[in-house]
Amino acid sequence: MKVLVVDDDKLARKGLISIMDWKKYGFEVVGDVQNGRKALEFLKDNEVDIVFTDIDMPEIDGIELMKMCKKEYPEVKFVVFSMYEDFRYAQSALRLGALDYISKISFEGDECDRILELVERKYKENHSQKETRNEDSELIKRLEKAWMNTRWIFNDSEFNRLYELTRGVELRTAERVFIKSFHSLQKLTGEELEFPSLSSVDSMLEWVKQWKENLYQTCLQTDKTKDIYMFARVILYTDEHIEENLKSEEAAAQIGMSRSYFSTRFKEMTGDTFHNYVISRKMYAAAQKMAKGTENITQIASNLGYDNFYYFTKVFSKEYGCMPTEYVGRIKKCSI
């Protein structure tokens, strides 16, 4: 941790630098200057983590220096020392985020270790909290982006992933994410979507799940002409005809689109090509049939349009990370 010492009293400045065992607590004094103006000049060209500053200095005092740094160098932390024991000075310094306030009058040499230990701990705590906030901020951004994307509407795996991720955030955060998401979806549905005020993240997620299910229940209505409903119809059509050799032009014809426009929009809406989506749904159907246990694997593969059993096992392994026989074995173990 790089330290700058600021004090108009040169003896006090040099004395503080020499009396403290900086290295023991991971500090390194990289400079010392006589006032706030010089400190700002030093900060322009040098990396500093903590400024140890006096309050009463000419030109720019310690409190003013803190205020200016809060705007220009918000990452820099402060330790304030002063001849004044007036609590108002301490209050001002602490309100501006000082890690500690030290009175020069009552300061004793044997307190050096205690001071540096305290400053080190507070600095690291502050830094750790900031990293956590940044991580939280990144997670929120990722969630907002993912929920605003329509992929979760058409992809069960994506929905389940987001469902679990969102369960880990706070109520107000989830509310903000969903309000933003459904405001965006409103443009796609052409309908007014107002996210309700709910008392838990779980209840919000269940509401979203119900909304998604309702979308599929209403998408077959003739007045639902927006793309989001059209592609919901395609998803239903795909599942109903999963044992057939489905082609994109057939699916496009179902909703009155040209094959090229359909292919582009399908990728935009679902995050996948129609060809890859069909393969994924066929493998899901295969897994469901295996779980029922009423057909053997060869029969399942054949019914789904895979006459080449070796190719079927290769595709299934890529989707589920294991051979079909292993998958069946796991199901049997779980059912015991």
Residue 157: the pLDDT is 85
pLDDT at 299: 95
Distance CA 107, CA 135 (A): 39
Q: Among all chains, which residue has been given the structure tokens 């160098």? A: 73
CATH number for the segment(s) 276-335: 1.10.10.60
The fold of the 2-129 domain, in CATH, is Rossmann fold (3.40.50)
> What single-letter DSSP state applies at residue 220?
T
pLDDT of residue 85: 55
Mean local confidence (pLDDT), 41-65:
88
Q: How are strands ordered across the β-sheet holding 28-33?
A: 28-33, 2-6, 50-54, 77-82, 100-103
- Please report the pLDDT score of residue 19 as a whole number: 86
Q: Where are the domains of the chain?
A: 2-129, 149-272, 276-335
Share of the chain above pLDDT 70, in %: 90
Provide the pLDDT for residue 91: 62
Residues 193 and 215: their CA atoms lie apart, in Å, by 12
pLDDT at 149 exceeding the cut of 60:
yes
139 has a pLDDT exceeding 70: yes
**C-alpha closest to that of 84 among 101, 66, 106, 103:** 103
Give yes or no for a contact between 318 and 312, defined as CB atoms under 8 angstroms apart. no
Residue range 265-300, pLDDT digits in tens: 999 999 999 999 999 999 999 999 998 888 999 999
Topology agreement, domain 2-129 and domain 276-335: no
pLDDT at 141: 86
Task: Flag whether pLDDT at 135 surpasses 70.
Answer: no
Q: Can you give the pLDDT at residue 93?
A: 67
Closest listed residue to residue 205, CA positions, set 153, 151, 167: 167
pLDDT class of 336 with cuts at 50, 70, 90: low
85-107 pLDDT per residue, tens: 545 555 666 666 788 777 765 56
Q: Where are the beta strands (DSSP E) in the chain?
A: 2-6, 28-33, 50-54, 77-82, 100-103
